Amino acid sequence: MQQFLLLLCSLFLGLVCYYSVIRMHSNLRKPYVVLLAYRFLFFAIQSIFFYSIYKNQLDPYFYHQTLITLFDDFKYYPLDIIIFFKGDYVNMHIDQELKTYLATEIRVAFFIKVLSPFFALSANNYYLLGAWLTFFGSLCLVHFLSLFKRTPNILIWLLVLIIPSFTFWTVGILKEAFVVPVLFLLIYFLDRIINSNGKDIVSLLLFIILCWLCWYVKYYMVAIFLLAITVYVINSKILYSFNTILFSILIIATTIIALGYMHPALNWNVLPEVIYISNHLTCTKYVNAYECIQFDLDMTWDSILLNYPKAMVYAFFSPFPWQIHNLTSFFASLENYVFILLLMFVIYRWVTKKIFFSNAELVGLFIILLLGGLLIMASPNIGSFSRYRIFYLPIYAYIIFKHSSINYNAAFLRFKNWIEK
């Protein structure tokens, strides 16, 4: 019975994927097929990597096993479904340890609720659950690509979205695999809202609902996203003058203060303490992974400023050659140094006035430099940093790809001609 159900759910996923392809706009069909196939390939690579290196001891397997336990409970006690989504875990018919964990780890519990509809279509199978989430993320990303379907930027963004490290951490049963693609989808809805002057109520409601879902899974990613789109809207929609610059600074400052009220960990005064605690937990929790980078932090902004130069070096140059200890760290290092070489080439072209950066791009690069240093101090383990940096990697890569003349490369032109046929 279980094998028949697994076959049925697999066929249903295949039919849904096929239908999504044939229903896709002709300008997006090939980019979508490339994106979907590439992401499914990387889900297979990720599954092999998690099994061979970590012996299935990572969070995705915990989420899956927890869902199996919960759905077994729902089978015999249907009312527990309502109790679970209400968050009243004490009255559920599960073991006390799991009750305590769900009550303590609020974000994990919420993410498991988000995964529940996908799990219902997976026949209790880990790989099918990961495939559904990978497919969902691909749909989100292709909606974002649709914003550029009649422009040359669509191929640059497609290259950005298939960066190996970005793809690796945005497929499968991971929080990032849900949140990051949905953030790209929010950009699509935001564009519809702006173009309709706020009259597209459906897009507005979906924007709010999806933003709320992501907030309870990865609040800091949503906070940075909200800050980034505020800066983008100001730079792209307001003509520059002394008064508008003052107004922009006021809006950005108000946004930062408001985010501090939305979550205590985002408060400007508390942030050094949050970075210090995250640093300590990373260095003690992942003792068997990469060697922890040592920073002399003491919960003050002074210590962060003093450590910032070192943080910048590690954020944008690691893994260093002496930090390579396996195949994955080698590929991570290779990818990182390709970006460094491209960035140096872009800087050279900028200095020689062969290219021009928009105000939004300059502000974006400044924010990325700021976030990279703060992130490596909060996550001084190279492995965890490589995973967490993907929230700013697309913008960083897009600016580099756009200004590095990659669109004149022979391989790029052949790829462009194939996509556009």
Task: State pLDDT tens for residues 41-71.
Answer: 999 999 988 887 777 778 899 999 999 999 9
Burial classification of residue 373, based on how many CB atoms lie within 10 Å of its CB (0-12 exposed, 13-18 middle, 19 or more buried): buried
Confidence of residue 287 (pLDDT cuts 50, 70, 90): very low
Confidence of residue 255 (pLDDT cuts 50, 70, 90): low
Amino acid at 225: F
Span 127-175, pLDDT tens digits: 999 999 999 999 999 999 999 988 888 899 999 999 999 999 999 999 9
Burial classification of residue 116, based on how many CB atoms lie within 10 Å of its CB (0-12 exposed, 13-18 middle, 19 or more buried): middle
Alpha helices in 146-218 (DSSP H): 153-161, 164-168, 175-195, 201-217
- 196's CB contacts (< 8 A; 6+ apart) are 203
Amino acid at 159: L
Residue 285 has pLDDT above 70, yes or no: no
Residue 325 — φ and ψ, nearest 5°? -135, 0
Amino acid at 310: K
354 SS3 class: coil
Span 315-363, pLDDT tens digits: 888 787 777 777 777 888 888 888 889 888 888 888 887 888 877 777 7
Q: What's the pLDDT score for residue 256?
A: 65
Q: What's the pLDDT score for residue 288?
A: 52
Q: What's the pLDDT score for residue 391?
A: 87
Rounded to 5 degrees, what angle do the CA atoms 106, 108, 109 make? Answer: 65
Residue 314 has pLDDT above 50, yes or no: yes
Rounded to two decimals, the pTM is: 0.90
Burial classification of residue 307, based on how many CB atoms lie within 10 Å of its CB (0-12 exposed, 13-18 middle, 19 or more buried): buried
